[in-house]
């Protein structure tokens, strides 16, 4: 092999390993997420609020800079941030934060809460009731006093590493992943989507007992929840049929239901979610 074919082989290897669902991507910058939300509010950006300054974010910044008469370098410097308005600033931790507040720090809070397993709906920089609920649940999870406001303890907990699944999981359906765990549009997808035809059998990914089996009024549709003694809960959503009952013990591979499209979905798929003591975690790294 020549040096250039070696290089091509190495690039092909790493190129292949980069074909991973969004779930495997590193958490983006909360600050850049705030810039993206501010650009969205000005209808200059309709990409994902993922905290990664990719080409679409840079192009939107250049458009804004041209409109504001600033040098079009695509970088969010102080003048550009000022032109973006309150949704791009202040930075998280520079003021006390609570219900009713609007700003880039609220975006950062919403972004970090979502990655820690407590998404609050649309990441929009407005501290409303959904954000407050998510914050209180996070504070409870982190063993902090449930103030519903952001103080130093909460800031420290928000900057701690995000939780991961502590046990190995089995695939509920053996199919390629659709949407992964992570930012999706202006929101956050707290699980894996496994697209499969109606009626495809869904198997339990972990041992435990069924704590919920039935229809939900939220987006999950027909839902089965299996909770293990280790605090790990696995959720199977949008089912067309449920084949277990509440209180039933299940083991890895137990048939829990059939794929459907109940709840908020555009087509048949399994929404598979994993929660550790209530925090949604990325199931992908734990799947064997």
Please tell me the number of Cα atoms within 13 Å of 163 on its side-chain side: 23
Cβ-proximal residue to Zn ion, closest one: 271
> In the bound complex, what is the minimum distance in angstroms from residue 118's beta carbon to Zn ion?
16
Alpha carbon distance 36, 31 (integer Å): 9
Please tell me the number of Cα atoms within 13 Å of 112 on its side-chain side: 24
Among 172, 271, 280, 282, binds Zn ion (CB under 5 A): 271
Q: Which is nearer to Zn ion, 111 or 220 (CB)?
A: 220
Q: Which is nearer to Zn ion, 17 or 217 (CB)?
A: 217
> In the bound complex, what is the minimum distance in angstroms from residue 114's beta carbon to Zn ion?
14
Instruction: Map the footprint of Zn ion across residues 164-193, applying CB under 5 A.
Output: 193
Regarding beta strands 232-239 and 269-276, do their DSSP bridges make them parallel or antiparallel, or are they unpaired? antiparallel
Instruction: Map the footprint of Zn ion across residues 78-117, applying CB under 5 A.
Output: none
Site for Zn ion contains 273 (CB under 5 A): no
Please give the full DSSP string across 113-179, using - where no structure is assigned: HHHTT---SS--SB--HHHHHHHHHHHHHTT----SSB-HHHHHHHTSPPP---S-B--SS-S--SS
Could you tell me if 273 and 237 are in contact, meaning their C-beta atoms sit under 8 angstroms apart?
Answer: yes
Q: Which is nearer to Zn ion, 52 or 271 (CB)?
A: 271
Alpha carbon distance 267, 235 (integer Å): 18
Alpha carbon distance 274, 205 (integer Å): 10
> In the bound complex, what is the minimum distance in angstroms from residue 184's beta carbon to Zn ion?
9
Question: Dihedrals φ, ψ of 234, to 5°?
Answer: -110, 135
Find, among 247, 242, 271, 255, the residue nearest to 204 by Cα.
Answer: 255
Instruction: Map the footprint of Zn ion across residues 193-252, applying CB under 5 A.
Output: 193
Q: Which is nearer to Zn ion, 44 or 134 (CB)?
A: 134
> In the bound complex, what is the minimum distance in angstroms from residue 283's beta carbon to Zn ion?
11
> In the bound complex, what is the minimum distance in angstroms from residue 265's beta carbon to Zn ion?
8
Binding-residue total with Zn ion (CB under 5 A): 2
> In the bound complex, what is the minimum distance in angstroms from residue 40's beta carbon to Zn ion?
22
Tell me which residue has tokens 């998404």.
Answer: 119
Q: Which is nearer to Zn ion, 101 or 193 (CB)?
A: 193
SS3 of residue 70 by DSSP: coil
Q: Which is nearer to Zn ion, 49 or 237 (CB)?
A: 237
DSSP conformation class of 91: P
* Choices 20-28, 201-209, 223-231, 264-272; region in contact with Zn ion by CB under 5 A: 264-272
Q: Which is nearer to Zn ion, 104 or 182 (CB)?
A: 182
Q: Which is nearer to Zn ion, 138 or 272 (CB)?
A: 272
> In the bound complex, what is the minimum distance in angstroms from residue 5's beta carbon to Zn ion?
42
Pinpoint the alpha helices (H) of the chain: 3-17, 30-41, 55-68, 78-84, 104-115, 129-141, 152-158
> In the bound complex, what is the minimum distance in angstroms from residue 150's beta carbon to Zn ion?
28
Which spans of this chain sit near Zn ion (rule: CB under 5 A)?
A: 193, 271
């Amino acid at each position: 092999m020549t040096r250039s074919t070696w290089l091509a082989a190495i690039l092909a290897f790493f190129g292949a390993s980069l074909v991973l669902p969004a779930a495997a991507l590193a958490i983006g910058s909360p600050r850049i997420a705030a810039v993206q939300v501010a650009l969205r509010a000005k209808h200059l950006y309709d990409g994902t609020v993922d905290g990664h300054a990719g080409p679409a974010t840079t192009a939107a910044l250049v458009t804004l800079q041209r409109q504001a008469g600033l040098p079009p370098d695509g970088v969010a410097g102080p003048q550009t941030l000022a032109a973006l308005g309150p949704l791009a600033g202040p930075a998280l931790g520079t003021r006390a934060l609570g219900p009713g507040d609007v700003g880039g720090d609220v975006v950062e809070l919403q972004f970090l809460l979502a990655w820690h397993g407590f998404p609050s709906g649309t990441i929009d920089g407005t501290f409303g009731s959904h954000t407050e609920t998510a914050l209180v649940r996070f504070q409870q999870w982190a063993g902090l006093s449930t103030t519903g406001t952001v103080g130093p303890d909460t800031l420290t907990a928000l900057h701690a590493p995000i939780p991961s699944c502590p046990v190995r999981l089995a695939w509920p359906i053996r199919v390629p992943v659709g949407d992964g765990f992570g930012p999706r549009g202006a929101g956050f997808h707290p699980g894996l989507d496994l697209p499969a035809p109606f009626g495809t059998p869904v198997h339990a990914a972990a041992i435990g007992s069924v704590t919920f089996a039935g229809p939900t009024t939220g987006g999950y549709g027909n839902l089965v929840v299996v909770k293990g003694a280790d605090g790990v809960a696995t959720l199977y959503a949008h089912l067309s049929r449920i084949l277990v009952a509440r209180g039933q013990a299940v083991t890895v591979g137990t048939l829990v239901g059939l794929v459907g499209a109940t709840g908020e979905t555009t087509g048949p798929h399994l929404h598979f979610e994993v929660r550790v003591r209530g925090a949604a975690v990325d199931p992908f790294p734990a799947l064997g």
